[in-house]
């Protein structure tokens, strides 16, 4: 499985930001890793037209129907996208998404032939209480469907307290958590679990990327703020390529 560097633009970006993608594509015409930018639904078609791999940030569980304001995985696929994020903490927390709903959205993504980047992560209170691994195992139990394979699914570990804060766990903490996640995935999914990509996410930037990518069981990153500008994201892509 190739390593994966994924950006998440969240609710950012209008037409004026599309040149960032052209700049990124021009800087990495032949990346040695998989590179994807997940963006707002309003931009996805135009993002895909740049030739970059793109993804949605969320999807509905259903293909179509009376769900005002929602976007189905098929609609995301129709834009030219190949990926979708499910279970981001901003969906779990701000929109009350349960593990069961994340699992259903993940299956919807697969059904539309989208590769799913499924996010898990503990809150600051859970981290301080020493409950990180229990929380992550319970999120994986509930939100990763049994049919997950390495080809269809990537798991992103994103401590909620590290997202957009400039804080990160120590390299040892990331390595310990990723080792535990790998053990869980291998135990549950066998060979597929051993191969399934594990991303770290939370305040990744050019200055800390190389150190994080050097860790065992870190197969790439999910990057929020530093994915908005090609000048910030490009060195992170290069750091992952250099880790190979
Ligand atoms: C994210 O939103 O998935 C994320 C990791 O954000 P940031 O890189 O800004 O912390």
pLDDT category at 14 given cuts 50, 70, 90 is very high
**Whole-number Å distance between alpha carbons of 220 and 217:** 9
Protein residue with its CA nearest to atom 3 in ligand 1: 224
**Whole-number Å distance between alpha carbons of 19 and 22:** 5
* 195 is annotated as an active-site residue: no
Place of tokens 């994020």: 85
Mean pLDDT of 8-21: 98
Atom in ligand 1 nearest the alpha carbon of residue 162: 10
**Whole-number Å distance between alpha carbons of 59 and 189:** 24
Mean pLDDT of 55-68: 98
Mean pLDDT of the chain: 98
pTM: 0.98
The confidence score (pLDDT) of residue 76 equals: 98
Q: Quote the strand ranges of 110-190, DSSP E.
A: 115-120, 153-157
Protein residue with its CA nearest to atom 4 in ligand 1: 224
**Whole-number Å distance between alpha carbons of 57 and 71:** 10
The confidence score (pLDDT) of residue 116 equals: 99
The confidence score (pLDDT) of residue 207 equals: 98
Reported as a single tens digit per residue, the pLDDT across 62-107 is 999 999 999 999 999 999 999 999 999 999 999 999 999 999 999 9
Reported as a single tens digit per residue, the pLDDT across 212-239 is 999 999 999 999 999 999 999 999 999 9
**Is the distance from CB of 78 to CB of 44 less than 8 angstroms?**
no
Mean pLDDT of 102-119: 99
Say how many Å lie between the CA of residue 61 and the centre of ligand 1.
Answer: 24
Residues in the chain: 244
* 241 is annotated as an active-site residue: no
Q: What is the 8-class DSSP label of residue 66?
A: S
């Amino acid at each position: 499985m190739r390593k994966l560097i994924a950006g998440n633009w969240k609710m950012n970006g209008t037409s004026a930001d599309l040149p960032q993608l052209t700049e990124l594509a021009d800087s990495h015409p032949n990346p040695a890793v998989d590179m994807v930018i997940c963006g707002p639904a309003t931009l996805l078609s135009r993002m895909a037209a740049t030739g970059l791999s793109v993804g949605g940030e969320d999807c509905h569980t259903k293909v179509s129907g009376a769900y005002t304001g929602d976007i189905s995985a098929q609609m995301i696929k129709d834009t030219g996208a190949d990926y979708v994020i499910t279970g981001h903490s901003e969906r779990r927390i701000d929109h009350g998404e349960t593990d069961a709903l994340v699992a259903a959205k993940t299956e919807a993504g697969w059904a539309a032939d989208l590769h799913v980047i499924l996010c898990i992560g503990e809150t600051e209170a859970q981290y301080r209480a020493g409950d990180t691994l229990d929380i992550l195992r319970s999120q994986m139990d509930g939100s990763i469907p049994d049919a997950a394979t390495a080809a269809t699914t990537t798991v992103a570990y994103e401590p909620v307290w590290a997202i957009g804060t400039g804080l990160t766990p120590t390299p040892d903490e990331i390595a310990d958590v990723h080792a535990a996640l790998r053990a869980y995935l291998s135990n549950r999914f066998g060979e597929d679990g051993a191969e399934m990509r594990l991303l770290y996410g939370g305040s990744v930037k050019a200055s800390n990327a190389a150190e994080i990518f050097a860790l065992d069981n870190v197969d790439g990153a999910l990057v929020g703020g530093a994915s908005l500008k090609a000048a910030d994201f490009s060195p992170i892509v290069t750091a992952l390529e250099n880790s190979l």
